[in-house]
């Protein structure tokens, strides 16, 4: 939340404002898996970190998770419930245009995730993102965990309608990982970018998305790297910088 | 290594604080005959950080200011308007105010978004020279965002705040 983004991240109000009020090309949201295999939009693995709910999302059913509401919002008079991935898809359809959505698959716990969990999450995520949805919108999956990316690639076998992006800096090692596993791109923090990285990404034929853009100077500096996409808090200013 | 620079809003706030510190060092007698003013004000509201420039008029204990408003936090390309009505007794430096802001914005999908805000609050007016005043205020109120043209239908309402600081020149 900020002066330009007064609603909690991943909330329906924030998504609607970005897509409908300011006409953004798309949104980036964080996702977690519930105990019954459903997907909800939330960053952390425990509800009490940002909502009035309690418990680990991985141990709760979706019907319990979506009863929680974000706390500490600038507007205390309205409710900001946690929403499901399917609810996000319904909002996208209201836009009546092709919308790009980046689903950032967050770690499930503080401890190292187990390989079986990576596979389970990948399979359940692919089941939620049907070809019916990808025929109407562009759905990208991101993850900062290499093992999760490998599991996603395996679960996506035979499906070329869901681009996979590795959330990491554009170092030689990470670029090699993306190329070796036939991923479509990287998502990097613009503060750690260098001009040499732009050249490496071009040579590897990978898409490059930058995040961490919160204020005007962030937008100006990030656009200097000529990314293929940016994740920004200030949509109107970013659009102006892109001459749109 | 990427060099970070301060955003325009940070620079503006720092400049305002500096100038207020310099100008508020003086104080002079009130000029009761001055009725018209030019005012500039920087404010932080739901819509973002903005600066307004307008004219004012006072009668009895009432002051009315109205002027154009430019938002730094949003790509405003259709204009904005701000109007404030203050009530300030002569014996007090404090004031109560009501403020309304209107902004119109054409988004990337060529749809027109209209933002309306209204606040009520309390502030101070400090006369620093014969014609100059510093105005400050903090208020609470609400906003309404609405797509007036285009699909899909979009309306959002809620509560918000405003914090303002500005200067007036009275004639």
Burial class (CB in 10 A: 0-12, 13-18, 19+), A199: exposed
- How far is the C-alpha of B36 from the C-alpha of B90, rounded, in Å? 17
Q: Which of A94, A215, A236 sits opposite B152 (nearest CB)?
A: A94
Residue B125 has pLDDT above 60, yes or no: yes
Chain B contact set for A4 (CB, 8 A): 48, 73-74
- Which residues, 6 or more positions from A129, have their beta carbon under 8 angstroms from its beta carbon? A103, A139, A141, A162
CA distance B150 to chain A (A): 9
Residues forming a β-bridge with B104: B114
What is the interface pTM, i.e. ipTM, of the complex?
Answer: 0.75
**pLDDT attached to residue B75:** 60
The CATH number of B8-170, from 2.30.30.110, 3.20.20.140, 3.40.50.720, 2.40.160.20, is 2.40.160.20
Count, in order, helices (H) and strands (E) of chain B: 1, 8
Domain ranges of chain B: 8-170
Look at A190 and B2 and tell me if their CB atoms are within 8 Å.
yes
The pLDDT tens digits for B36-51 are 999 999 999 888 888 9
Strands across the sheet containing A185-189: A39-41, A26-33, A100-105, A138-143, A164-167, A185-189, A207-213, A229-232
A3 touches chain B (CB under 8 A): yes
B138: which 2 tokens? 């903090």
Contact A239 B108 (CB under 8 A): yes
- Give the position of tokens 């929403």: A83
Kindly list the residues from chain B whose CB atom is less than 8 angstroms away from the CB atom of residue A16: 154, 156
Best mean pLDDT range from A66-80, B9-23, B68-82: A66-80
pTM score, whole prediction: 0.83
Distances (CA, A) of B30 to B85, B93, B131: 20, 12, 8
Q: Does residue B152 register a pLDDT over 90?
A: no
pLDDT in tens, chain A (244 residues): 454 567 899 999 999 999 998 889 999 999 999 999 999 999 998 999 999 999 999 899 999 999 999 987 767 677 899 999 999 999 999 998 999 999 999 877 655 557 778 888 899 999 999 999 999 999 999 999 999 999 999 999 988 899 999 999 999 999 999 999 999 999 999 999 999 999 999 999 999 999 999 888 899 999 999 999 999 888 888 888 887 6
Mutation choice for A interface testing from B11, B45, B107, B110 by most A CBs within 10 A: B107
Chain A nearest-CA residue for B10: A215
Which candidate in B47, B72, B74, B104 is best for mutational testing of the A interface (most A CBs within 10 A)? Answer: B74
Q: How many Cα atoms sit within 13 Å of A29 on the Cβ side?
A: 31
């Amino acid at each position: 939340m900020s002066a330009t983004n007064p609603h909690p991240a991943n909330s329906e109000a924030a998504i609607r404002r970005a897509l409908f009020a300011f006409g953004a090309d798309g949104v980036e949201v964080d996702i977690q898996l519930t105990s019954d295999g459903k997907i909800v939009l939330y960053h952390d693995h425990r509800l009490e970190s940002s909502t009035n709910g309690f418990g680990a999302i991985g141990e709760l059913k979706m019907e319990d998770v979506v009863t929680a509401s974000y706390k500490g919002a600038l507007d205390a008079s309205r409710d900001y419930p946690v929403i499901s991935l399917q609810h996000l898809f319904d909002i996208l359809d209201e836009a009546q245009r092709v919308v790009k959505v980046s689903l950032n698959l967050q770690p499930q716990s503080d401890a190292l995730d187990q390989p079986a969990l990576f596979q389970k999450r990948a399979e359940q995520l692919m089941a939620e993102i049907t070809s019916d949805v990808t025929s109407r919108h562009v759905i990208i999956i991101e993850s900062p965990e290499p093992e999760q990316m490998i599991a996603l690639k395996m679960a996506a076998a035979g499906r070329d309608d869901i681009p996979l992006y590795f959330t990491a800096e554009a170092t030689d090692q990470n670029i090699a990982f993306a190329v070796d596993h036939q991923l479509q791109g990287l998502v990097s923090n613009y503060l750690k970018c260098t001009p040499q990285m732009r050249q490496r990404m071009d040579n590897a034929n990978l898409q490059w998305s930058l995040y961490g853009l919160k204020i005007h100077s962030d937008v100006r500096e990030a656009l200097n790297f000529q990314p293929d996409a940016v994740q920004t808090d200030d949509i109107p200013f970013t659009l102006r910088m892109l001459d749109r | 290594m990427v060099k970070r620079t301060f955003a325009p809003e940070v620079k503006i706030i720092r400049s305002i604080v500096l100038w207020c510190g310099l100008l508020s060092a003086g104080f002079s007698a009130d000029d009761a005959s001055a009725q018209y003013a030019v005012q500039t004000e920087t404010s932080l509201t739901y819509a973002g950080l903005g600066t307004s420039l307008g004219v004012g008029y006072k009668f009895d204990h009432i002051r009315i200011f109205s002027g154009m408003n430019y938002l730094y936090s949003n790509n405003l390309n259709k204009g904005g308007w701000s109007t404030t009505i203050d009530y300030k007794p002569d014996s007090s430096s404090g004031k109560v105010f009501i403020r309304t802001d209107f902004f119109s914005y054409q988004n990337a999908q060529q749809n027109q978004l209209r933002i309306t805000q209204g606040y009520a609050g309390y502030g101070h007016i400090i006369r620093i020279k014969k014609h100059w005043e510093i105005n400050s205020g903090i208020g609470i109120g609400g906003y309404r965002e609405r797509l007036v043209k285009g699909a899909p239908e979009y309306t959002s309402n809620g509560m918000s705040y405003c914090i303002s600081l500005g200067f007036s020149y009275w004639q």
